[in-house]
Amino acid sequence: MKIYTRTGDKGQTSLIGGRVDKDSLRVEAYGTMDELNSFVGKAMTELNPEIFTDILEDLEAIQNELFDGGGDLANVMKERHYKLSEEPIEVLEQRIDLLMEEAPPLERFILPGGSPAAATLHIARTIARRAERQTVTLMKAEEEVPAIVQRYLNRLSDYLFVAARIANARVNVPDNEYVRSAKVFRTGKSESKSED
């Protein structure tokens, strides 16, 4: 089998059911999800499987979900069936809630870093946010974009934040605070004012 087909050598490429310039917003968005997926794969190589069994399970599910969502963005068939559903978002929320209870309390921004895995999870967090931004750009430009992908990426970036904190907490590495941070994280009532 030849992996290279040379058909993309003129700057166009294939979707599922279409053909577009390689720098189209759609390709940009799922290309960034592929980049994100690779950083998730990198973080997995840095997590001790005995201490982080649960996180590693989460991340493997996430890798598959990123393929689902990326494929959905690549799909422009007239009749199409999207692969990413509400369920993975709900699972992410449950996992976030559980891990937040385990993590030390949080009031101020923390400096990204700590253990190797935590540092990579912070990188993945910021790339999830870049993928989210590009999905928003795509949604503003085109009609048929499954909104669930953006919501999934939004929640995923929060999951990766908490996962990074756990990747430090369980090996007793502290999260250092941004020294000039206000108390930016809010609970209870003031939460209703929050927006992101």
8: contact with ligand 5AD by CB under 6 A: yes
Nearer to ligand B12, 46 or 158 (CB): 158
6: contact with ligand B12 by CB under 6 A: no
169-183 b/e with 16+ CB inside 10 Å = b? Answer: bbbeeebeeeeeeee
Q: How many CA atoms lie within 13 A of 143 on its CB side?
A: 2
34: contact with ligand B12 by CB under 6 A: yes
- Residue 157 near residue 129 (C-beta atoms within 8 A): yes
126: contact with Mg ion by CB under 5 A: no
Q: Whole-number minimum distance, CB 16 to ligand 5AD, in Å?
A: 8
The residue with its CB nearest to ligand B12 is 70
In angstroms, how far is CA 109 from the centroid of its own chain? 19
Q: Which does 74 bind (CB under 5 to 8 A by kind): ligand 5AD, Mg ion, its own copies, none?
A: ligand 5AD
Interface pick for ligand 5AD out of 129, 155, 165, 170 (rule CB under 6 A) = 129
DSSP bridge partners of 16? 75
Q: Which does 80 bind (CB under 5 to 8 A by kind): ligand B12, its own copies, ligand 5AD, none?
A: none
Residues 6+ positions from 122 with CB-CB distance below 8 Å: 112, 113, 160, 161, 164
- Residue 157 near residue 39 (C-beta atoms within 8 A): no
Q: Whole-number minimum distance, CB 62 to ligand B12, in Å?
A: 13
What does the binding site for ligand 5AD look like in residue numbers (CB under 6 A)? 8, 13-15, 22, 27, 31, 74, 129, 132-133, 196
